[in-house]
Amino acid sequence: MKKLVWLMVFLGLMGFSLALAQPRTVKVGFVSTLSGGGAALGIDVRDGFNLALRHLNNQLGGLPVEVIVADDQQNPDVARQAVDRMLKRDRVDFLTGIIFSNILLAVGDAIFEEKVFYISPNAGPSEYAGEQCNPYFVNVAWQNDNLHEAMGQYVQTRRFENVFLLAPNYPAGRDALTGFKRYFKGRVVAEVYHRLNQLDFSAEIAQIRAARPKAVYAFEPGAMGVNFIKQYAEAGLLREIPLFLPGFSADADVIRAVGRGMVGIYNSSQWTLELNNPINQRFVEDFRKTYNRTPTLYASQGYDAALLLDAAIKAVGGDLSKKDELRKAMLAGFNSTRGPLRFSPNGYPIQNYYLRQVIQQPGGEIVNRQVGTIFTNHRDAYVDRCKLR
Amino acid sequence: MRWIFPTVLLGLLLAFPPIAAAMGLEFYQGLLTKIMIFALAASSLNLILGYGGMVSFGHAAYFGLGAYTVAILMREGVTSGWVIWAVAVGLSALLALLIGAISLRTRGIYFIMITLAFAQMIYYLVVSFKQYGGEDGLRARRPEFGLFELNDTTLYYLTLGVLLAALYLLYRLVHSRFGRVLQAIRENEARALALGYPVFHFQLVAFVLAGALAGLAGVLMAHYTQYASPNLLAWQQSGHLMMMVILGGVGQFWGGVLGALVLSLVEEILQDLTIHWQLGVGLILLFIVLFAPKGLAGLMRRGS
Amino acid sequence: MSLLELLGLSKQFGGLAAVNNCNLRIEAGEIHALIGPNGAGKTTLINLIAGTLPPSRGQLRFQGENITHLPAHQRVHRGLARTFQITNLFKNYTVRTNLELAVQARAGSSFRFWQPVAQEKHLTEAALAVAEQVGLAGRFERVVGQLSHGEQRQLEVGLALASRPKLLLLDEPMAGLGAEESERMVALIAQLAQHHTILLVEHDMGAVFRLARRISVLVYGQVIASGSPAEIRANPEVHKAYLGDEGGAE
Amino acid sequence: MPPSLFIEQVLNGFQFGLMLFLLAAGLTLVLGIMDTINLAHGSLYMIGAYLTATLVGVTGSFWLAVLGAVLGTALIGMLLELSVLRQLYRRDHLSQVLATFALILIINEVVRMIWGSQPLLLSTPEALSGPVEILPGLYYPAFRLVIIGVGLLVALLLFWLVNRTRVGMWLRAGASNREMAQAMGVPIKPLFTLLFGVGAGLCAIAGAFLGPILAVQIGMGESILILAFVVIVIGGIGSIKGALVGALLVGLVDTAGRAFLPLLLSRVASPEVASNLGPALASILIYLLMAVVLFFRPQGLFPART
């Protein structure tokens, strides 16, 4: 029992010394999904973020950076504990990194309560876009509906009579299909929600086969996407019923896993490999060189999150206590891999959405090519309900 | 001399929040709150596992139900803390009564598995209600208690008070007539029956009591994280609580408290050291099971 | 009215009838011995009477009341107490705790959650009295696992006795005892018989014929004979079916 | 409902059930004969999948990889038995649950150290990656048909092993009465080690064939382990026949629940409620089945012990 007392004293002292040692650095908490089925996404965002830091000489707006990384295991509970630790023990200045919307919604309140900015490199739940929008929230990726709105628009222009919709049963899944239906005006044969992180889609695929729709749209982030597309191809459906996907389900990582079956698939994205600006060219080139793989849109979002922080901190001259100025500086926009990026008052970007298609190049390499533009300067559907200015 | 240590410890626990506030150690105050909540849950499990010999692999059901009751009632507009507590504890007890009444007809491995099965059912049921958050869990705002405002510090004292009260209750219980019979049933069920004890009823009462206390721990957990997570209902959570009990000492009075304290601290420290922290937890646990079957409380007793 | 009546009692395990249409009466105040070859169903019969097993058919009447469907623990409260053929005690507890538990079972409700049981002096006193009765007062604070086999058998009887039964079911109390220990057990049973009715299942024929007022013989789950020791000794059926070539009682 | 949909879903149920059987068979024998709860059984399934994925990379052949993974996992299983599980046979169930729970944590982390946190890629063999027309107009993935074939083959082999060989006779004797088996001179210790190896090998087969369909990742053994336990408790602990019946029952009930419950529910409730409640109710169905079976037959459907 004596040892326990010592342990407590020790812990107390440890915390005390931490509290005393506070040189002026920027502390960024990076909570992301780094293990399990969604790990590829988190690792891409992290690698993109780290690449940007390297390009910025490990400084953000002139201040040295300390990044504290935690794995949320795609589990809201684990994420809460990690965020709690970062807010209360490490006292970070910014938080970023979260991939999945359900994770973000589980920790958002705690972050905003501490008046800490959350820079979202991916998760863009509708909750934070409308009435519940928050001054401490900025998203450098896209609102959850957007890629699906773009695909809905495209499927609509192709005049498909009806479509079968599939998504996991969680907030982003519902947002996604809502977004698709906002622009697709044809008939929805069925809207099937399955358990999050389900890996065997045989039951759903049988349903699709029986329903005989003209097209299928599936929102399946992470490992679910790989499994669904693989099984869809193995069931022989890819040749019979065209499959449309959001951009991340047809990105380099999925292509690596599924292979030739992907060729021909159309998908939507706010970023493409070919975007013609110096920041993007440097990003794509150095990412390939550093990590030996083709960057995905997730990686570009991680890269942009760091660039946004850099620009905003520079704008307030490194004084992180000026929260209002920081927010103004962030919303004013910055130069991203997608060119100059502006934001709505709810913290979501106003940007273009492109159509891409998976093609096989003459050399045999399979890539996801930009083939058109679906929306220009597109805003999210909820911004009008946000009271922030 | 025996009272010195507990008094000092209690004094330290009482004095911790102001010290923490002064030194910016709120995080550790939160950690202590969490440990005390787990101590309560593990002690409740120890009552049936340790004293009653009932290897329930579904204790998370009551723990999670307590937390979800808070979240759901707050969402539905019931804001009185006392009402919420009463409903949560009552529901947990009722659930334990239902599960116990069926499970206690089986023995051994079948009992382990049927309690697990019931807990899994509760898990999937809760997760299926999308309006209550589904897989994402549900926000659980802190209710009103009238006498005081529930914040991190009052919650700390509240948890401390509940834990002490529960421990006192358990202490009286295991030394009462009822407690003695419960332990006798664990030792030799056929003999207890032949002496004229209605074994089933004793076990069921203990089962319900443990469920109610675990529900209360779940309520406090929801107040602490302000969030009801499906994780609280998962089978790994049941395993986690069992780990605490066996680490601290099965059927040792301080087993649950000690196990919760040590396991939480070990997890906290290892998590900071390495991402492979679960390896450390696993090795420690394996060592305890193989070489110190009476847990830490048993080791200490032998040492002193 | 008999103290205990078995009316056409049967117990089947699968297709096998362990006890088959068994009729038996036990009168208040007697020592009634139940003998029979191995596998005759004696222990099954004890289990049926004690309520550990439910019968397949037939009726049990105790003090004129039908107890066929009464759970085991309630039969104890009616005054039926048993010992086990294979010693069945709280091995990790002391003799004192064993006996206190037995006393506690009849002395008021055990659904008391608050008062420390250690403060209930009357339990200890009653336990000590039983210990004296079965000759274990000197071992009162010993852990049961450390007692000799004979002492454990004595405690086995003591636990049954502590519930102040009207009918004691003794399932082979002499099993595994040496000559001297057996002698002590016979004396103990004889002494208990002054105040209790006893149903004695026993293989030790010497003990049976010394103790029993009446004897019933169980063969293949059926009572083939019932009577005084002399009658049983003279019964040709019994000789044929059970005592056989051995030519009488030991 | 079109009959082709029904047939397809029944096949799905069979495929899942047969893989569950491979896991449950080893588990039920260990539990029946050694009276030991082994939660780490699912970890062997995970190891089998990881080994397969790695060996596919090395050998380039799926079938060679499966063979290697089965042998490797069997070896690891036997080592596990010799080092840890052997200590647990005489301990109570609680100790077994906790010790093997600890093994799960340890094995998970060791796998993470060797292979990393990201799932491994295990592709369906090229030749089997397409559909097959099994009835006019009814296509079914070839690989899933192969899984059903392999599952049936292994099940037959197991029945032959248990019912026709000397080792099998020992196993049956051990499952129905351990002391008797020991008295009859059955070499218990080596038998247990061997049995453990066989159980581990079966896990590896399941891991190798489910890996390409599901995902090769840490924790993949845990959810399926619970299902395997449900299977053997329904079937009766120690009975291979029980494991097969239980596994097919669970596989069919699970698939039927997932596929048809939403359809049924959509007749009585709104489509959203139906698609919501369907999967959840389907998952409960299995546990409900188990609770009902245990309530009426506390020893399962085919109890091995007499």
Q: Which candidate, D39, D23, D24, D16, places its Cα nearest to that of D239?
A: D24
How many independent structural domains does chain B possess? 1
> A118 and A137 in contact (C-beta within 8 Å)?
yes
Write the pLDDT tens digit of every residue in A149-205: 999 999 999 999 999 999 987 777 888 999 999 999 999 998 888 877 788 898 889
Per-residue pLDDT for C249 more than 50? no
Q: How far lies D230's CA from each of B118, C228, D303, in Å?
A: 11, 58, 14
Q: Domains of chain A, with CATH numbers?
A: 26-142+275-343 (3.40.50.2300), 146-269+354-378 (3.40.50.2300)
D292 contacts chain B (CB < 8 A): no
Question: Using CA atoms, how far apart are residues A88 and D99, in angstroms rounded to an integer?
Answer: 35
Write out residues 21-50 of B within 8 Å (CB-CB) of C: none
Strands C197-201 and C167-171: parallel
> D9 and D217 in contact (C-beta within 8 Å)?
no
The DSSP secondary-structure symbol of D124 reads P
> B249 and B298 in contact (C-beta within 8 Å)?
yes
* Percent of chain D surpassing pLDDT 70: 93
Helix H or strand E encompassing C16: strand C16-26
**What token pair was written down for A8?**
């407590």
Mean of all residue pLDDT scores within chain D: 86
Write the pLDDT tens digit of every residue in D88-108: 888 888 889 889 989 999 999
Cβ pair A200:D259 closer than 8 A? no
- Min Cα distance A384 → chain D (Å) is 27
Alpha helices in chain A (DSSP H): 2-20, 39-55, 76-84, 101-113, 146-157, 171-183, 202-211, 223-234, 252-258, 278-291, 297-315, 323-332
Count of Cβ atoms closer than 10 Å to residue C178 Cβ: 12
Cβ pair B109:D276 closer than 8 A? no
Per-residue model confidence (pLDDT) at position B171? 95
Cβ pair B197:C105 closer than 8 A? yes
Of D124, D131, D259, the CB nearest to A206: D259
Write the pLDDT tens digit of every residue in D119-173: 888 888 888 888 888 888 788 889 999 999 999 999 999 999 888 888 888 877 7
B236-255 burial string, b = 16+ CB within 10 Å, else e? ebbbbbbbbbbbbbbbbbbb
Question: Using CA atoms, how far apart are residues C78 and B230, in angstroms rounded to an integer?
Answer: 50
C166 contacts chain B (CB < 8 A): no
The residues spanned by each domain of chain D are: 3-218
Cβ pair D119:A36 closer than 8 A? yes
Per-residue model confidence (pLDDT) at position C250? 38
Structure ipTM: 0.84
Chains A and C touch (3+ CB pairs under 8 A): no
Per-residue model confidence (pLDDT) at position A17? 56
Alpha helices in B226-273 (DSSP H): 235-248, 255-273
Task: Name which of A344-358, C107-121, D7-21 the model is least confident about.
Answer: C107-121
Mean pLDDT across C58-78: 91
Which residues of A are less than 8 Å from D258 in CB distance?
203
Tell me the average confidence (pLDDT) per consecutive run of 10 residues in chain B, 304 residues long. 80 89 85 96 96 94 96 92 96 96 87 90 84 80 88 93 96 94 94 92 97 97 90 91 90 92 90 82 89 76 58
Q: Which residue has the tokens 């693989």?
A: A230
> A316 and A322 in contact (C-beta within 8 Å)?
yes
Write the pLDDT tens digit of every residue in D229-286: 899 989 988 888 999 999 999 999 988 887 777 777 777 777 667 666 766 677 788 8
Q: Which chain A residue shows the shortest CA-CA distance from D283?
A: A195
Band (pLDDT 50/70/90 cuts) for residue C119 is confident
Write the pLDDT tens digit of every residue in A284-342: 999 999 999 899 999 999 999 999 999 999 999 888 988 999 999 999 999 999 999 99
Chains B and C touch (3+ CB pairs under 8 A): yes
Cβ pair D295:B102 closer than 8 A? yes
Question: Using CA atoms, how far apart are residues B201 and D138, in angstroms rounded to an integer?
Answer: 57
Chains that touch A (3 or more CB pairs under 8 A): B, D
Q: Nearest 5°: phi and psi at B229?
A: -105, 140
CB pairs under 8 A between A and B: 65
Mean of all residue pLDDT scores within chain A: 89
Q: Residue B228 pairs with which residues in a beta bridge?
A: B138
Q: Which candidate, B116, B287, B104, places its Cα nearest to that of B204?
A: B104
Write out residues 218-247 of D within 8 Å (CB-CB) of B: 222, 226, 229-230, 233, 237
Q: Which domain holds residue B18?
A: 3-303
**What token pair was written down for A56?**
């910025």
Question: Using CA atoms, how far apart are residues A296 and B100, in angstroms rounded to an integer?
Answer: 52
Question: Using CA atoms, how far apart are residues D298 and C66, in angstroms rounded to an integer?
Answer: 29
Q: Residue B194: which CATH number?
A: 1.10.3470
Which residues of A are less than 8 Å from D121 in CB distance?
256-257
Per-residue pLDDT for A235 more than 90? no
Of A200, A223, A234, the CB nearest to D130: A234
Write the pLDDT tens digit of every residue in A95-141: 999 999 889 988 998 899 999 999 999 999 988 998 889 999 999 99
Cβ pair D84:B125 closer than 8 A? no
Band (pLDDT 50/70/90 cuts) for residue D190 is confident
Which residues of C are less than 8 Å from B195 in CB distance?
76, 101-102, 105, 159, 163
Question: D23: exposed, middle or buried (C-beta count within 10 Å: 0-12, 13-18, 19+)?
Answer: buried
The DSSP secondary-structure symbol of C25 reads E
> C99 and C164 in contact (C-beta within 8 Å)?
no
Per-residue model confidence (pLDDT) at position D103? 94
Helix H or strand E encompassing C201: strand C197-201
> C117 and C123 in contact (C-beta within 8 Å)?
yes
Count of Cβ atoms closer than 10 Å to residue D166 Cβ: 8
Per-residue model confidence (pLDDT) at position C247? 43
Per-residue model confidence (pLDDT) at position D129? 81
- Min Cα distance B139 → chain D (Å) is 20
Per-residue pLDDT for C215 more than 90? yes
B105 contacts chain C (CB < 8 A): no
Cβ pair A227:D213 closer than 8 A? yes
Q: Nearest 5°: phi and psi at A45?
A: -60, -45
Question: Using CA atoms, how far apart are residues D60 and D52, in angstroms rounded to an integer?
Answer: 11
Q: Which chain C residue shows the shortest CA-CA distance from B187?
A: C90
Which residues of B are less than 8 Å from A29 in CB distance?
none
Write the pLDDT tens digit of every residue in D10-40: 999 999 999 999 999 988 888 887 788 899 9
- Min Cα distance A7 → chain B (Å) is 9
> A72 and A105 in contact (C-beta within 8 Å)?
no
Question: Using CA atoms, how far apart are residues B38 and B41, in angstroms rounded to an integer?
Answer: 5
Q: Which residues of B touch A (CB under 8 A)?
A: 5, 8-9, 12, 19, 23-28, 30, 130, 134-137, 139, 225-227, 229, 231-232, 261, 265, 275, 300
* Residues contacting residue D222 through CB under 8 Å, at least 6 positions apart: B236, D42, D104
